[in-house]
Amino acid sequence: MSWQDWKAHTLERQFNPRVALGAKTDDILAIWEAKSQGARSHLPGQFDIAYGDHPLMRFDYHPSASDAPVIINIHGGYWRSLDKSAMHHHMADLSRSGFNTANLNYPLCPEISLTDIVKSLERAVSELIELVRCDTPDPKFILFGHSAGANLAAHLSHHPSLQNRLVGVVALTGIYETEVVRHITVNGDIGMTQKEAKRWCVITNLPLVGPQYYIAVGGDEPSGWIDQSWQLADALSKRGEHLKFRVVQAANHFDLVDKLCNSDTPDGLQLHEWMLKLID
């Protein structure tokens, strides 16, 4: 079902995860921050590598000793909040499984537009690939995005520098029909125009042909939000792409990421095995 099928219901609750979860959101994000502070010292590599002049134009790169793909992580926050630092513990979980990880920050709305966020991240990806190629002649990459970051990951799949290097896209509980954003309160910060909503709709501007896709959403999320992931999976399946679609039971918008980054959980182990097979 499209977001328009939910107009008679409460769009704010269906398509604003912070509203859907209520006070739990702040508690969850506080836990993320605390875990990430402890995980930072266990991450190898470099933090806050500049790819531009803006203080948020920074990424972290954590190489491993394995030949596993480089996971390019793009945080969520509805393009207006959050920071890569809250996901250090997720990067540590992925590193523990042998993955190389890159954790990207980017300037946020309302300071810049969604269009400019995409341009910023395109620059980040170019700089990252050059850095990785200094040590690895033929690296392979997986785009990995949560929430608004899943939308960004889908669009970044078309980056020229990722051609023949992108083996997978992991899209976790994303927002893909961007027109709905113009009808809920978050657009007070985002300022999305009708032109932008059309341009950055993933359903009508599908990601790259060729990589494999892993699309997941939490079973405890609102039905309208779950439909976003189903629509993307359906569109990619009809196009003939190889994909997995998962509705992870007993998972909300945030602890879905906890479960899938941690290979000690059954759902996380399945995702990690799927990603490692992409280079077999």
For position 252, what pLDDT does the model report? 98
User: Virtual CA dihedral for 49, 54, 55, 56, nearest 10 degrees?
Assistant: -80
Give the count of domains, the chain: 1
Written as one letter, the residue type at 249 is: Q
For position 130, what pLDDT does the model report? 97
For position 23, what pLDDT does the model report? 94
Residue 98 near residue 64, CB atoms below 8 Å:
yes
Written as one letter, the residue type at 206 is: L
CATH assignment of the domain containing 242: 3.40.50.1820
**In terms of residue numbers, what domain contains 87?**
3-277
The rounded distance, in Å, linking the Cα atoms of 218 and 139 is 31
Integer Rg of the chain from CA? 17
Low-confidence ranges of the chain (pLDDT < 50): none
Angle among Cα 224, 230, 233 to the nearest 5 degrees reads 155
Within 8 A by CB and 6+ apart from 271, the residues are 170, 214, 216, 260
Q: Is 164 left (phi over 0), alpha (psi -120 to 50) or beta?
A: left
Residue 143 near residue 172, CB atoms below 8 Å:
no
Residue 46: phi and psi, rounded to 5, are -115, 145
pTM for this prediction: 0.97
Structure tokens at 153: 């990951």
For position 38, what pLDDT does the model report? 96
